[in-house]
Copies of this chain bind each other. A is one copy, B any other.
């Protein structure tokens, strides 16, 4: 029986590229593994897979009775709906420790670095398995995406060294140029329905018993949102009601100005002020220097709920 290697719901490039890279590694060390995904590819991820010649992993949402290796999260809200009926054999991640639990011993490769693929590179090194050229390429792109080409405060020297090593394996001379190409693909939001944009990189969290959804859109220039901001605001309001959420936050991140405009709807008018020391006006506030949901948004919000 093969194990399925799968990232979080609404998969980002780290989840998809990580599933492919880890499934390959597991197969090389004699453990049958199949890469899977819980949702559609984002335009960025589709660009990466096409660039290095990969098909999308198998779309699979039910894992009852299966062995599963979890990539890029440890939160029940982000895992397959029936994960409690599966056997989790491992977790590779770089986030806070979430509320997934298991009945049996497992392996966890979790490190406070910028990207799960940096940890997967450590796994390749541990097992002394050579990384194929095209897998090195997608791993490198995942790290450039998660670290916002090293600009994110989540980026560590381990991530930078890892990208350098992978770029050499993949034969990419100017990896920063490839990173910018990726973020240009990500910035092309025109013509996309508001709901698709809000859900493109959206994660739900259980914060002290409250369901909180946090989306993020990283672009090269925030002006791409000028014409559709009202639609985005209306959509997060709808999303809050539909999902019975306590709050929905949407980060519009400008990777060149290095900050985020936060759009928010919440049952608690004081929440954002408690978390970030700033009060939204008309449900909007600029958070200077904020690039990372994981490091600069989630922990502060979690503390505000405690």
Binding site for B on A (CB under 8 A): 74, 88, 91, 94-112, 126, 154, 294-295, 298-299, 302-303
Would A107 and B111 be within 8 Å (CB), given that A88-B97, A97-B91 are in contact?
yes
> Which residues on B sit within 8 Å (CB–CB) of A105?
94-96, 110, 112, 154, 294-295
> Which residues on B sit within 8 Å (CB–CB) of A100?
97
B101 touches A96 (CB 8 A): yes
Bound complex: CA of A303 vs CA of B87, how far in Å?
12
> Which residues on B sit within 8 Å (CB–CB) of A154?
105
> Which residues on B sit within 8 Å (CB–CB) of A112?
104-107
B110 touches A108 (CB 8 A): yes
* Chain B: CB-nearest residue to A89: B112
Bound complex: CA of A94 vs CA of B154, how far in Å?
28
Q: Which of A91, A95, A105, A108 has the most CB of B within 10 A?
A: A105
The 8 Å CB contact of A97, one of B101, B109, B126, is B101
> Which residues on B sit within 8 Å (CB–CB) of A295?
104-105
* Chain B: CB-nearest residue to A93: B108
Q: Which of A106, A109, A126, A299 has the most CB of B within 10 A?
A: A106
> Which residues on B sit within 8 Å (CB–CB) of A109?
108-109
